[in-house]
Amino acid sequence: MTVYFFLILQVLLSSGTHIVAKAVSADVEPISLTFLRGLISMVAFAAIILLRRRRHIERQDYGRFFLLAVIAVPINQFLFLYGIHYTTAGNAALLYATTPAFVFLISRYVLKEFLSRRVVVGIFLAFCGAVVVIFERGLSLSSGYTYGNLMIFLAVVSWAIYTVAGKPMVIKYGAFQVSAISMIGGTLLFLPIGIYGLATFNLSVLTVQDWSGLFYLGWATSILSYVLWFYAVGRLATAKVAIFSNAQPIVTTLLSYLILHQPIGASVITGGVLTIAGVAIAQQERPHSRRRPGT
């Protein structure tokens, strides 16, 4: 039961991430925001990792850790923070609810899991829900709102890849070490772009609320939420962990309405129903793996 308690905590932290990121992105452009968030988590991870015992990384795993680092910050976090600058926190959370669908699909090819007809139908409905949300304000790709939704959608795909690719490393090295290395490595890879962003951004415009939001993004999500996520991934089936993302849109949409006063439109409700219904259908029948259970 401990793993489910941690998953619930992870969902709450992630739901808050969408709200905080939306608020801070109003004052901080995406490149600087991504870099500052990465720096905060990198310093904290580095300090903690120096104080605890860690397993030596084997040479054959260098490539996998490099992939996780590339995805963690330069792709996933940047696309998320770039996209949420244009769209709403509720839309971002709803699109992240499609994570299980992508995890199912990626697991099919990476983990050789069989997809039943029920799972395929569920994934199709989830995709339809995501499309409704993405094009909530029309089919024009020139719309900043639609553009933001697409960036979030790509961030979701990268998060699913990060989850599936990270599972073998978590089993081998543990959730903390995998999260720490991927975040530290990802921030270092983003360093040249981040320095350029900070050089053209005036840090003096940041308010106390902005700095509080940055520390929330750097500590509560990039550290605690990531570790909790990988902790669960290492102990449960990957898709089963991803299914917990379904709770995010409900919590975030309510918080968005109460805190940010963002309206809940018919398209969001329709897309949400399709997405959650699709994932609910898919999870009713677990795919049968050709490998040993839990891999």
Return the top range by mean pLDDT from 115-119, 186-190, 250-254: 186-190
Helices (H) and strands (E) in the chain, counts: 15, 0
Distances, alpha carbon 148 to alpha carbons 49, 195, 245, in Å = 35, 24, 20
pLDDT tens by residue, 229-284 = 999 888 877 767 776 666 676 677 667 767 767 666 676 677 777 777 776 776 56
3-state secondary structure of 158: helix
Q: What percent of the chain has pLDDT over 70?
A: 80
More reliable by pLDDT, 255 or 85:
85
Ranked by mean pLDDT, which of 56-60, 188-192, 242-246 comes out on top? 188-192
* pLDDT for the residue 235: 84
> pLDDT category, 294, cuts 50, 70, 90?
very low
Q: What is the pLDDT of residue 289?
A: 42
Question: Quick one: pLDDT at residue 114?
Answer: 62
Crossing angle between the packed helical segments 89-96 and 266-283, to the nearest 10 degrees: 20
Q: What is the mean pLDDT of the chain?
A: 82
The stretch 89-114 carries a mean pLDDT of: 76
Chain segment 143-168, per-residue pLDDT in tens: 677 888 899 999 999 999 999 999 99
Asked if residues 148 and 94 have their Cβ atoms less than 8 Å apart, the reply is: no
Residue 226, number of CB atoms within 10 A of its CB: 25
Q: What is the mean pLDDT of residues 94-113?
A: 76
Looking at residue 60, its amino acid is Q
- Residue type present at position 207: T
pLDDT of residue 20: 92
* Rounded average pLDDT over 6-28: 88
d(CA 215, CA 291): 41
Pick from 225, 117, 234: which is nearest to 174 by CA?
A: 234
Q: Which residue has the higher pLDDT, 93 or 195?
A: 195
Other CB atoms within 10 A of residue 140 CB: 10
> In this structure, are residues 292 and 126 in contact, taking their beta carbons and an 8 Å threshold?
no
CA dihedral 52, 56, 60, 66 (to 10 degrees): 30
Q: Which has more pLDDT, 257 or 194? A: 194
Is residue 101 within 8 A of residue 272, CB to CB? The reply is no
Residues 38-57: what's their mean pLDDT?
A: 88
pLDDT of the residue at 287: 43
What's the average model confidence in pLDDT over 79-91? 88
- State residue 143's pLDDT score: 60
Write the DSSP string, 87-141: S-HHHHHHHHTTHHHHHHHHHHHHS-B---HHHHHHHHHHHHHHHHHHTTT-S-T
